[in-house]
Amino acid sequence: MAGSSYGTVFRITTWGESHGKALGVVIDGCPAGLELEESHIQRYLDRRRPGVSAISTPRRENDAVEILSGVFEGRTTGTPILLMIRNTSQISGDYSEIAACYRPGHADYTFDQKYGFRDYRGGGRSSGRETAGRVAAGAVACRILEQLGVNVCAYTRSIGPVEADMNRFDRAAILSTPTAMPDRTADEAAVRYLEEIKKATDSVGGCMECMIDGMPAGIGDPVFEKLDANLAKAAMSIGAVKAVEIGDGCLVSSRRGSENNDGFCVSDGRILKSSNHAGGILGGISDGDRIVIRAHVKPTPSIYLTQRTVNTDGQETDINIKGRHDPVIVPRAVVVLECMTALTVLDAMMINMSARMDSLIDFYRK
Amino acid sequence: MAGSSYGTVFRITTWGESHGKALGVVIDGCPAGLELEESHIQRYLDRRRPGVSAISTPRRENDAVEILSGVFEGRTTGTPILLMIRNTSQISGDYSEIAACYRPGHADYTFDQKYGFRDYRGGGRSSGRETAGRVAAGAVACRILEQLGVNVCAYTRSIGPVEADMNRFDRAAILSTPTAMPDRTADEAAVRYLEEIKKATDSVGGCMECMIDGMPAGIGDPVFEKLDANLAKAAMSIGAVKAVEIGDGCLVSSRRGSENNDGFCVSDGRILKSSNHAGGILGGISDGDRIVIRAHVKPTPSIYLTQRTVNTDGQETDINIKGRHDPVIVPRAVVVLECMTALTVLDAMMINMSARMDSLIDFYRK
Amino acid sequence: MAGSSYGTVFRITTWGESHGKALGVVIDGCPAGLELEESHIQRYLDRRRPGVSAISTPRRENDAVEILSGVFEGRTTGTPILLMIRNTSQISGDYSEIAACYRPGHADYTFDQKYGFRDYRGGGRSSGRETAGRVAAGAVACRILEQLGVNVCAYTRSIGPVEADMNRFDRAAILSTPTAMPDRTADEAAVRYLEEIKKATDSVGGCMECMIDGMPAGIGDPVFEKLDANLAKAAMSIGAVKAVEIGDGCLVSSRRGSENNDGFCVSDGRILKSSNHAGGILGGISDGDRIVIRAHVKPTPSIYLTQRTVNTDGQETDINIKGRHDPVIVPRAVVVLECMTALTVLDAMMINMSARMDSLIDFYRK
Amino acid sequence: MAGSSYGTVFRITTWGESHGKALGVVIDGCPAGLELEESHIQRYLDRRRPGVSAISTPRRENDAVEILSGVFEGRTTGTPILLMIRNTSQISGDYSEIAACYRPGHADYTFDQKYGFRDYRGGGRSSGRETAGRVAAGAVACRILEQLGVNVCAYTRSIGPVEADMNRFDRAAILSTPTAMPDRTADEAAVRYLEEIKKATDSVGGCMECMIDGMPAGIGDPVFEKLDANLAKAAMSIGAVKAVEIGDGCLVSSRRGSENNDGFCVSDGRILKSSNHAGGILGGISDGDRIVIRAHVKPTPSIYLTQRTVNTDGQETDINIKGRHDPVIVPRAVVVLECMTALTVLDAMMINMSARMDSLIDFYRK
């Protein structure tokens, strides 16, 4: 309830601060019998590591994950899995300015208001570094989903004014371009744009998108635990996300019903929809079609321009943020969206197993 | 977990189908000592009642709420409050078509996939009528928030292409215009537009917005229980909502940091922000400023045009939806957004009470 | 969290006061497709109705249950089931004494301390009448368990000094004797004993026991959600229960390991235990053997002798309790224990469905 | 839900196996501003360390706790606290017998039934070593309770036939005697008794008791979240506990109402009870009196006598358990009961803060 846990059946609790000794996650409710080793998780963590290109911070992070419990002889045991990442490259520098001032666009002020004080080193718990725990747990969720035939894939949809063209969609590009765009042409344009932004010592926002393929119909619960409601929460819980869309999203508010409804049809004996404006969810429950979710991310709030703010003594002052910061958050946040989506979908699928009497009877009386 | 409960401390469970005997909500965790009578709740329920104007369905609904428990001598006792609304005007008509076909844009197909069958009368549990329970509970939450100095106010921001001009914002108009717009000029234009839509036997989408004023700073929890994450879930759990924005929302993804950051300033000894792009939330925690949330609503899926669909035997067929349906969902959904927002904020405020040692010591040792 | 909800997947919320308009329960998470009608539930409610014998109160209660939602064409739909019982025979009498005084052994004082005031009519929410909602929900759980091959059966083990002899165990007697004992000889002795107690205008305690047969092995979760831990909570949540035992219970604390360990053996190819001191649970997880739970119930606190107490003005005073009260709680509480046990076991079985990867794969890829 | 989390507001998740790399706990919901250092926790962990006396195992354990997150400049920050204990002395020995056989009285069989396989090294997750995480978290809870004026104190009440005489109650003895008895005479008798048991290569059960002093009235919630129901669950979740009593416990079932009721009286202007058969809880809510809870613990199931059991191939066989095992569990489990009790009471106190409108108004409008 204090906020660092997520999920109901597949339940995770992340812990750790940006510049503390270590950070990580504990997963309770992982099904027993999954083959799991550190390399499966490391692959996902590496995607949130700053790159070497011009567009990312020159920080060297080497987030090596350790499995401390819950895996025996290469398989999950059904008991809690503790994943830990030592903070090695967080050389605590000079935090006197963050400690004494409220950085615009950051959570310094609100943490002080809530808790009375805060761990100001690198943003403490409100740092983007907190997402390492989510990604570690999400990697496990993705691995399970894969075995259930469900594939989750997130990528950068746009950076500032540069948008990926979905007609040029290239899945391989997501993991190989510096922007995590699925369109190499747009990626190049975005990199050029980011160089300008960097020169202007400014930052920029962007949009990320996630698709879920292979989703069975019938997942999600009516009313408050709608699958789209939980996906929206999942995405909005990522720092800097300010808007979430499902399927055609904002566009629907200016559409007519005759344009927006997706008719049902039959193909090869399967019931399908002839279009997918809904983004794969009807009444909060998956309809078997591709699920599409988009999250709009604000510009990195740490910029190198002088800004006006207030210090902890309540006096107005100028602030000049130092340190190393990405000009755009999106490329490194894409894997976080993918992981939050996977955690949400897996949890809904596990919950769904007891929705029908015939399932219970099959399970216990077969 | 099965989806009909919401909230952690102030926890509600809604129940009932569109055409069953009754529907309602049970509230567990309402603080003791609140003066409460049925009229306080009725006022909110009346806002989701179809009006008499051209733009709404000619159904006569008379949702009279009854308090069956939890209130004694005019005050809440701290024990569960059961609120019930008898279904009186739901004359069960001819449902053979809904029963046998999957209406495009509705949850008929997904309910069948999840549960094996469904209560097809008027949409059963997936009907918009389910929100009556949310509104009844939300009315109680709003009443409590009022006493804590917090005001929640939702309204129609746009209907199809017609948008309210916020420079003409008129709070009184929200409750008196048929569209629930806070701008009488836009309201008139929207009514004209809806008449066209109705003539075309079509429907249209729209956007609703909610403001929270008087919010103390420090509410919400980091990481997964961010206040904006929960507000997004709350809004997205309302049927037909396909996108949610906080503050400047989608706009942030094409902005620069220097434009988007809200600097802090001091005014009359209080720390404020000099702008509010963030919509009153930083790092998932309220900053004391106005909170702004927007929800984009799809067009009413029930339209009078012939549509192509599939029946429960898996064969393609035409469907002609009968019955009485609003050409736009938004005006009656506005109070639902207001109520879901109030439930979310109140719960977060109740949870927040134990965030600090000094609060605990004050409470138990004073 | 405010206390009136129970269970995680099969989750119930009870509501209502002793002398309010109505009371009942809402069940969220009941699997879809269960045949259910009011008579299935009524049968259980009738077991907690006061009888006509000398040992029970002469109150006439006629708790007729109504299903208001969640059932369509005779089957559960998977959506919330609202069960309501109108309070018809609760003629509000003279409560001036309860209102002004704290009855010894009752919750009057503690409710006032917690909430600042209380609904004093017949004990309000702290009345044993609250258990009607639990029994209504438990009846549904029992019906599901039956279809899964699990049978739950509670009965009176002892009343004051009179104990049932388990060698004379007669299941039919439970439903037909006034004491709900499974031993007709002991029942007769207990009835005679209770007549003495009544003459002495006093009351007496007793012990109830519950057996679960047909339980599959592997149910329950390690550490905090042990099956026995949840059964203990379930039993102790019944008003007046002051001790709970699993299997041989208190006896184990004076035993040696060599006496207390249950060896494993093989019979007809199945792994069994050669004794069952453990009461069917090892490490918090069912072992496939009969589960046995016992609950010790205090004497009815409402007695007709003059007692010394304090009034709401903080002054010492005498109290003479009027009204109609059973001299022993146990015979009517037995069905409550049966129902709480059933709710606990069913929930654990539903949760258990996602414990293993092979179950998930079977479910989603078959 | 998978079992390794406990509490609602002050919520802990324990992790780790007996012979894995490390084990520990994450606390989410600890109030900000508590002064906390490792030594505060170490003190409690040391109480579950095996001693040097004849009665405990000669294992050398040196459970050194490390705080990895959630504490900054000596104070808790309100964010998750990760406490880790490295497993250093768990030299993995020869587990071939445990791996291949089901030890009587242990969870080997039930884990295999639930999960399909298990970490058999030292019992894995079902080892008593799992309680180290609970104790680490409980130490923090005790520290907070102390500052709220609440004191929790557990001790050994009996070992086999040797019972502590409460008239000789000596609090200092609890921490200094090898049996954790509060009566030095009984302690000496128990030590002699345990020497005999050891010689007989057998084990014995015992009873532990916990008192809570300084408890404010009004804590706990009606119906399902009764304080005694949660205390019972807390105690029963400790491995080997088979019965739980509150106040006079089992005795009440043979008592009369006139004996068992606790009259209210006034002393120095405060409302008190003239006796405390109820053990400080009425209707599930604390009454301001001392709370008393007792837990009956079975004999250590690991004994050195040859036992009959079944192997994982389903064949009957003899088992001879090797390794180092305490002849009685109680002395080392006492601190676990104290910690589980503290966690339960603190959580209930935190939840209670929003029970009344006047508290909310005080908090937010002062």
Q: What is the dihedral of CA A165, A167, A170, A174, to 10 degrees?
A: 30
Cβ separation A77–D124 shorter than 8 A = yes
pLDDT for B343 equals: 98
**Single pTM value for the model:** 0.97
Is ipTM > 0.95 here?
yes
One-character DSSP codes across A133-199: HHHHHHHHHHHHHHHTT-EEEEEEEEETTEE--GGG--HHHHHHSTT--S-HHHHHHHHHHHHHHHH
CB contacts < 8 A (A, C):
84
Per-chain mean pLDDT for chain C: 94
| Inter-residue contact B215 to B286 (CB < 8 Å) | yes
Cα–Cα distance list, C34 to A362, B17, B114, C145 (Å):
14, 18, 14, 11
A22 membership: H or E segment, kind and range: strand A22-28
Cβ separation C77–B29 shorter than 8 A = no
Query: Residue B54 above 60 pLDDT?
Result: no
- Residue in chain A closest to D119 (alpha carbons) equals A72
- The model's confidence at residue B90, banded by pLDDT at 50, 70 and 90, is low
| Inter-residue contact D330 to D156 (CB < 8 Å) | yes
Q: What is the dihedral of CA B91, B96, B98, B102, to 10 degrees?
A: 170
How many CB atoms lie under 10 A from the CB of residue C124? 26
Residue-wise pLDDT for D89-132, tens only, equals: 666 667 888 899 999 999 999 999 999 999 999 889 999 999 99
- Residue in chain A closest to B8 (alpha carbons) equals A1
How far is it, in rounded angstroms, from Cα D27 to Cα A1? 11
Residue-wise pLDDT for C170-217, tens only, equals: 999 999 999 999 999 999 999 999 999 999 999 999 999 999 999 999
DSSP state of A126: G
Q: Give the strand pairing for A281-282 and A270-273.
A: unpaired
Cβ separation A285–B2 shorter than 8 A = no
Pull the structure tokens for residue D157. 């009440």
How far is it, in rounded angstroms, from Cα B260 to Cα A299? 7
Strands laid side by side in the B81-86 sheet: B5-6, B11-16, B22-28, B81-86, B65-67
Disruptive mutation site among D65, D72, D346 for chain A (greatest number of A CBs within 10 Å): D72
| Domains delineated in chain C | 5-364 (3.60.150.10)
pLDDT tens, N- to C-terminus, chain A (366 residues): 789 999 999 999 999 999 999 999 999 999 999 999 999 999 999 998 876 455 665 555 578 999 999 999 999 999 999 999 999 866 666 788 889 999 999 999 999 999 999 999 988 999 999 999 999 999 999 999 999 999 999 999 999 999 999 999 999 999 999 999 999 999 999 999 999 999 999 999 999 999 999 999 999 999 999 999 999 999 999 999 999 999 999 999 999 999 999 999 999 999 999 999 999 999 999 999 999 999 999 999 999 999 999 999 999 999 998 877 899 999 999 999 999 999 999 999 999 999 999 999 999 997
From the list A3, A232, A315, the residue facing B224 with the nearest CB is: A3
- Residue in chain C closest to D161 (alpha carbons) equals C254
Of B78-82, C51-55, C292-296, where does mean pLDDT reach its minimum?
A: C51-55
Q: Which of D255, D208, D338, D243 is nearest to C240 (CA)?
A: D255
How far is it, in rounded angstroms, from Cα C302 to Cα C126? 13
pLDDT for D91 equals: 62
Q: Which of D347, A233, A62, A319 is nearest to B223 (CA)?
A: A233
Please provide the size of chain A in residues: 366
Query: How far A91 CA lies from chain C's nearest CA (Å)?
Result: 38
How many CB atoms lie under 10 A from the CB of residue A105? 26
SS3 state at A81? strand
Query: Residue C232 above 80 pLDDT?
Result: yes
pLDDT for B51 equals: 61
Cα–Cα distance list, A179 to A155, A199, B281, D110 (Å):
9, 18, 28, 50
Higher pLDDT, B58 or D23: D23
- Residue in chain B closest to D217 (alpha carbons) equals B364
A307 membership: H or E segment, kind and range: strand A307-310
How far is it, in rounded angstroms, from Cα A302 to Cα B336? 37
Strands laid side by side in the D206-213 sheet: C162-163, C151-159, C206-213, C291-297, C241-246, D241-246, D291-297, D206-213, D151-159, D162-163
Cβ separation A110–B217 shorter than 8 A = yes
- Tokens 């250093």 belong to which residue? D88
SS3 state at D187? helix
Q: Which of D289, D145, D155 is nearest to D213 (CA)?
A: D289
Pull the structure tokens for residue D207. 């009873």
- The model's confidence at residue B88, banded by pLDDT at 50, 70 and 90, is confident
Cβ separation B66–C21 shorter than 8 A = yes
Residue D262 phi, psi dihedral angles, 5° rounding: -100, 110
How far is it, in rounded angstroms, from Cα B45 to Cα B131? 10
A211 membership: H or E segment, kind and range: strand A206-213
Q: What is the dihedral of CA B24, B27, B28, B29, to 10 degrees?
A: 180
- Tokens 């429907």 belong to which residue? B203
List subunits contacting chain A, requiring 3 or more Cβ pairs under 8 Å.
B, C, D
Residue-wise pLDDT for B137-174, tens only, equals: 999 999 999 999 999 999 999 999 999 999 999 999 99
Query: How far A7 CA lies from chain D's nearest CA (Å)?
Result: 10
| Inter-residue contact D334 to D171 (CB < 8 Å) | no
- Residue in chain D closest to A10 (alpha carbons) equals D2
Cβ separation A20–D68 shorter than 8 A = yes
How far is it, in rounded angstroms, from Cα D102 to Cα D47? 30
Q: Which of B156, B163, B159, B244 is nearest to B195 (CA)?
A: B159
Query: Residue C52 above 60 pLDDT?
Result: no
H helix runs in chain D, sequence order: 38-47, 96-100, 108-115, 131-147, 171-176, 184-199, 227-236, 257-260, 330-351, 357-365
Q: Which of D96, D118, D57 is nearest to D320 (CA)?
A: D96
% helix / strand / coil in chain D, to the nearest 5?
A: 35, 25, 40
SS3 state at A354? coil
Q: Which of D354, D287, B26 is nearest to C111 (CA)?
A: D287
Query: How far B29 CA lies from chain A's nearest CA (Å)?
Result: 15
Query: Residue D246 above 60 pLDDT?
Result: yes
Handedness of CA C231, C233, C238, C243 (dihedral sign): positive
- The model's confidence at residue B61, banded by pLDDT at 50, 70 and 90, is low
Query: Residue B366 above 90 pLDDT?
Result: no
Residues of A in contact with B242 (CB under 8 A): 228, 245-250, 252, 278-279
Q: State in Å, rounded, how far the first CA of chain D is from the last one.
A: 38
Chain centroid, CA B251 distance in Å: 23
Query: Residue B352 above 70 pLDDT?
Result: yes
